[in-house]
Every structure is written in C-alpha cells, then in structure tokens.
C-alpha cells in the first residue's frame, strides 16, 4: 500500500515544501495541481457531498444511480466526500475493490474549503494489493492531509477517466497465493488481467492524527475575505453512499482567528524560546508542530509568534 508522506503549505503565492519519504513515491507530486482536471465550480457546488467524521469506515457503491460527471477526461459515476477540517491531520485510506476481474481505477482531487484544488492523486497512486485475512484484491493508497486553520471542511472528489478505462490492472493468480501461504514453490501460471470500468465499490477509511501532518489543504492566511461557497446538501449515511443532486446549502469558511492573548506580556526569554521552536519546526518541515507552538505562544501572551510562523513557513524566517 502506498503512503505519501510530505508537507505542503498553500499560500496566495503557492509556495511549497516537499519532504519525500517513500522512494517509490518521489516521482509523484500530489501538490502539483496543474495536472489536475479543471472542473466548473457550479458543477462542484451541485454535487451532494457525503460527510464523514473520523474515525470512520465507509463503503461507497458507484453505479448508474450515483452522481456522475462528464467533463474533460472525467467519465461516469463519482464519489464526493466532505471531511472535517478542525480535527487535526487526517489519514485517508482509499481502496477500490476488484470483483469479477473488474475494478474502478480511482483518481482523487482534494479541494479546500473554497472548493479550490489543493492536492491531486492520479490513479497511478493507487496500487494493487494482494488479498489478506480481511481484505480482498484491490487498488489502494493512503493520503495524509493537514487542513490549515480557519476551515470547517475539505473535500475529496473521487473519479475515473477515459484514459483509465482504456487500461488494465493485474491481480495475483490464486494458485500463486495458495502456494505462497503453504510455503510451496510458486507455480509458473499467468496472473489474471483486470479490466478498468466506471462502476465498482470503494472502501474509505478515515482517522485523525492530532500529532502529525503532511499535505496541508487550503490557504494558510488568505488576502482579504473569502466569498462563501455553496455546495449541495451533505447528509450522513451509514451504508453504501449514492450521492444525488440536491438543493444547495450555504457554507462559509471563517477567517482564522488568533487565540486570545493573556493580559500580561510574555517575557523576552519565553518569547525567544517559542519563536526559535517555530523556526526550527518549520525548517524541518513539521508544520503541524509549528502551528501548535504558535497557538501555545499566543495563548501565553506572545505578540510575535504568528509573524514568526508566517515568515518561517514562507522560507523567510
């Protein structure tokens, strides 16, 4: 299963910090949204977004009754998921189940609270995984996302493309799997070819990680006020989700507010301690830790921690 571990901040000037950990993943750059599809905002707003609150496991059936998009290279049924942006870092594992030698090859476009593209995971990110005790043959990948302050929700648009439909995947031959489990010689038999189709079943697992973050979703500090974004209603579901078009409901992303400062000024040594910690964490790519230090410093009365944080993550610290 592929996990992409990296840190990313989205500023108005779109500056990035990337820390690749898994060698096989370094060729993929999720924050390069230039390669992501361009989708009309009104079409995104009309989708019915399924809200999921971690920890949660959710199966999503994609079929002819599901919401669909046909724009550019996107073809057929899609899944639209809304995740909370105020519970720390999120670890999202997406699996597409192989059945009857068919599979839905997922792509994931991550959108911030204003429905602006923030990260893009193409179908090549979701690789084949062998069946286990509680899992079957599948395409799977794990995404680690850190919503920045001032957002209530972020969004995952899961879709497949005409290019994906022209390709295939390969699953391990059951005879090889049996021989491997029995410690026998692996037989020389061909592996079944799995066709890519535009229907299928997705399995989504989401958990929050308060102490770690990788891909930051959304603008850290916007310039001016953001206009409210209206999206389709998002009704909770406990079974297979089949999004439908519904009446839009207003949703606004509040501007980030600094924690209330103490009335007493912070001592110079304490202020320096926190500012040095913020610079060190930002330089190491640990944006989540830098955010926590900034919040704690402001709670204790710091007047310079926020400016230190902003300049540090912009590389000017």
Per residue in 196-213, pLDDT tens? 999 999 999 999 875 444
Lowest mean pLDDT among 43-52, 235-244, 304-313: 235-244
**Which tops the pLDDT comparison, 241 or 101?**
101
Q: Which residues of 124-154 are buried (b: 16+ CB within 10 A; e: fewer)?
A: ebbebbeeeeeeebbbbbbbbbbbbbbbebb
The H or E element containing residue 175 is: helix 174-181
Under the banding of pLDDT at 50, 70 and 90, the label for residue 317 is: low
What is the average pLDDT across 308-313?
87
Domain boundaries in the chain? 33-211, 268-315
Tokens for 248, please give them. Answer: 């839009």
pLDDT of residue 282: 86
Examine the pLDDT at 236 and tell me if it is beyond 50.
no
pLDDT of residue 59: 98
Per the CB < 8 A criterion, the answer to whether 154 and 119 are in contact is no
**Which tops the pLDDT comparison, 138 or 221?**
138
pLDDT of residue 1: 57
Examine the pLDDT at 24 and tell me if it is beyond 50.
no
Give the integer Cα–Cα distance in Å for 273 and 244. Answer: 52
Give the integer Cα–Cα distance in Å for 207 and 55. Answer: 4
pLDDT of residue 237: 45
pLDDT of residue 299: 80
What's the CATH number of domain 33-211, 2.60.120.380, 3.20.20.70, 3.40.50.1820, 3.30.565.10? Answer: 2.60.120.380
pLDDT of residue 74: 95
Under the banding of pLDDT at 50, 70 and 90, the label for residue 230 is: low
Per residue in 136-150, pLDDT tens? 999 999 999 999 888
What is the average pLDDT across 25-39?
82
Tokens for 187, please give them. Answer: 């037989």
pTM > 0.85: yes or no: no
pLDDT of residue 219: 67
Cα 249 to the center of its chain, rounded Å: 23
Under the banding of pLDDT at 50, 70 and 90, the label for residue 110 is: very high
Classify strands 117-121 and 8-10 as parallel, antiparallel or unpaired: unpaired
What is the average pLDDT across 70-83?
94
Cα 83 to the center of its chain, rounded Å: 9
3-state SS, 25-90, equals: HCCCCCCCHHHCCCCCHHHHHHCECEECCCCEEEEEEECCCCCECCCCCECCECEEEEEECCCCEE
**Which tops the pLDDT comparison, 20 or 33?**
33
């Amino acid at each position: 299963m592929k996990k992409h571990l990296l840190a990313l901040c989205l500023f108005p000037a779109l500056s990035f910090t990337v820390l690749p950990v898994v060698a096989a993943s370094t060729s993929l750059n999720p924050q390069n949204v230039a390669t992501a599809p361009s989708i009309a905002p009104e079409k995104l707003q009309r989708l019915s977004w399924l809200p999921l609150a971690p920890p949660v496991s959710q199966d999503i059936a994609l079929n002819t009754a599901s919401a669909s998009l046909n724009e550019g290279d996107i073809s057929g049924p899609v899944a639209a998921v809304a995740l909370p942006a105020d519970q720390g870092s999120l670890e999202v594992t997406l699996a597409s189940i192989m059945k009857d030698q068919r599979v839905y090859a997922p792509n994931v476009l991550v959108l911030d609270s204003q429905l602006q593209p923030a990260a893009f995971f193409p179908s090549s990110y979701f690789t084949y995984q062998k069946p286990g005790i509680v899992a079957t043959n599948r395409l799977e990948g794990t995404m680690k996302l850190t919503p920045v302050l001032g957002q209530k929700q972020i969004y995952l648009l899961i879709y497949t493309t005409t290019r994906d439909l022209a390709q295939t995947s390969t699953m391990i031959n059951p005879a090889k799997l049996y021989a491997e489990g029995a410690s026998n010689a692996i037989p020389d038999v061909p592996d079944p070819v799995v066709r890519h189709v535009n229907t299928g079943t997705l399995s989504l697992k989401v958990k929050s990680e308060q102490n770690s973050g990788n891909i930051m979703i959304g603008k850290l500090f916007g310039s001016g006020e953001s206009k409210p974004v209206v999206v389709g209603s998002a009704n909770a579901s406990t079974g297979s989700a089949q999004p439908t078009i519904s009446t839009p409901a207003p949703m606004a992303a509040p501007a980030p507010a600094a924690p209330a400062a103490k009335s007493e000024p912070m001592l110079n040594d304490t202020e320096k301690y926190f500012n040095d910690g913020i610079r060190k964490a930002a330089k190491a790519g640990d944006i989540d830790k830098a955010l926590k230090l900034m919040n704690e410093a402001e709670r204790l009365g710091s007047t310079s921690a926020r400016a230190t944080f902003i300049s540090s993550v912009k590389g000017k610290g």
